[in-house]
Amino acid sequence: MSEPLPVNGSPRLRAAVVLGTRPEAVKLAPVVRALDASPYFEPVLVNTGQHREMLEPMLHRLHLTPRHSLDVMRERQQLSALTARLVEGLGEVFRHEEPDLVIVQGDTASTLCGALAAFYERIPVAHVEAGLRSGVPDDPFPEELNRRLVSTMTRWHFAPTERAAHRLRAEGVPPDAVHVTGNTVIDNLLWVRRRKAGRSAFRTGRRGVLVTLHRRENQGDRMRMMAATLQRLARRGDVEILLPVHRSPAVRDVLESALGHEPHVTLTGPLDYFDFTASLAACELVLTDSGGVQEEAPSLDKPVLVLRTTTERPEVVTAGAARLVGVEPEAIHAAANALLDDPADYQGMAAAPSPFGDGSAARRIVERLTQDCAAPLPHPLQPDVSLVDW
C-alpha cells in the first residue's frame, strides 16, 4: 500500500478494514484497492486470523498486506470465547490506530466483533453487503443474527441489491444511510478472470459438478445423507463431482468417509480463491450451501442448486439463476438429474441474469464515503434502529 497523501494539507482519512475469512478477503479486496487508489483514504488492513491457514496465502495473491494480525483462534473453541477475544483484540487495534471509520463485510464473527469494537470506541462503521436476511434468526447460524446486530451499529449500509436495501429501510434504517452498490464479489471475480488466474481442479473430461458443503446446520446426519446423495449422483457415470472439503473435522470426517473411494468424485483440500474460480468457470453445475457461491456462479452462467431451506439471497432465485432445493436427499437428487438431463431447463437457468451487479461496487462505495466524509461524521448508531426491530 502507498503512504498517506496530503489532502488540502491534511493526511488521508484512515479506514480500518477488518477481515478474517477467505470470503471477506475476496469481497473486501476491491474495496481496499479502491481506497488505496483514492487521495482521500488510507486503508489500514486488520486480519483477525479467524481462518488463518486458508486466508494468509490468498492475502498475498490478492496483494493485501495486513498492518495488524490477531491470534484469537483456539482448537474447538466456543463462539462466546472467540467473540470475547475478537472484541478485545480489535478494540486494542482501534485504540492504537485511531481510524476515522471501520469497514466490515458480511456476517462472520469478525464482522460482528469489528462493528462492536468500533461502536465501543465510537468510530463509525461501514457495512459492505448489508441487508441480507433469511428471515429466520438462527438459520444460518450464527450468521443471520450477526448481520442483524451489525445493522444496529452501522452508519453506512452498502447493500448489494435493491431488495437488500428495501429490507433495511423496512427495519427502520434511515433511507439516506442505505446505498445500493452491487456486490463486490463480482468486482473481484471479474478482476481474477481477466487475469486468467488459477487452475481448475477437475481431473477428467466428464461433466463437472462443483459442490461446496460446510454449514453448521447441514452437519451431522444431514451431511451424511447429502454425501450418500452425491454418491448416487456420481454413479450416473457421466459426471465428475469436485468437492473441496472444509477443514472442520465435522465436515471432513463425514465427506471423506462416504466419498473418499468413489472414482467419479474428486475430494480436495480447500482450493485457493483463484483455483476455485477457475474450477467454477470449468464446471457445468453447482450444488452449494454457501452464500458467496450463489453470487459468483450466475456471473459465469452456471446454474446453482442451493442445499438449504432458506437463503438470504432470494434475488438469485427470483432471477431464475438458482433454485432453493432444500436438504432432503431425494429432492437434491431429482433437481440435479433434471438439470443434467434437460438441456432446455439447463439453458434457461444458465442464461438467467445475475442480480448482483456489474463489477463497480467498490468504486461506488468509496465514492459515497468520499462524499460523506467531507463533512463531520455523524454518531455511528442510528437512533431509530433498535435491537428489537426485527
Strand order in the sheet with 68-69: 68-69, 41-47, 13-19, 101-105, 125-128, 156-159, 178-180
Tell me which of 214, 215, 264, 364 is the catalytic residue.
214
CA distance 377 to 119: 14
Strand partners, 101: 15
How many angstroms separate the Cα of 55 from the Cα of each of 24, 60, 249, 321, 363? Answer: 9, 9, 18, 29, 24
- The answer to whether the bond into 355 is cis (omega within 30° of 0) is no
Pair 70, 49: CB distance under 8 Å: yes
**Please, where are the H alpha helices in 235-313?**
249-259, 273-282, 292-299
Q: Is 246 tagged catalytic?
A: yes
Distance CA 112, CA 148 (A): 9
- Taking alpha carbons only, the member of 279, 282, 284, 335 closest to residue 307 is 335
> Distance between CA 186 and CA 193 in Å, rounded?
10
* 195 catalytically annotated: no
Active-site entry in 24, 36, 100, 107:
107
Catalytic entry in 42, 100, 129, 295? 129
Beta strand spans in 222-332 (E):
239-244, 265-268, 285-288, 304-306, 322-324
Residue tagged active-site, from 169, 206, 216, 333:
216
Q: Is 301 a catalytic residue?
A: no
If you search the block for the grid coordinates 432470494, which residue do you land on?
314
DSSP state of 10: B
Q: Which of 36, 143, 272, 295 is catalytic?
A: 143
Q: Are 179 and 358 in contact (CB under 8 A)?
A: no
Q: Is 75 a catalytic residue?
A: no
Give yes or no: 261 in active site: no
Selecting among 246, 308, 313, 364, the annotated active-site residue is 246
User: Alpha carbon 9 to chain centroid distance?
Assistant: 38
Is 207 assigned a catalytic role? no
Q: Hey, which residues are catalytic here?
A: 107, 129, 143, 214, 216, 246
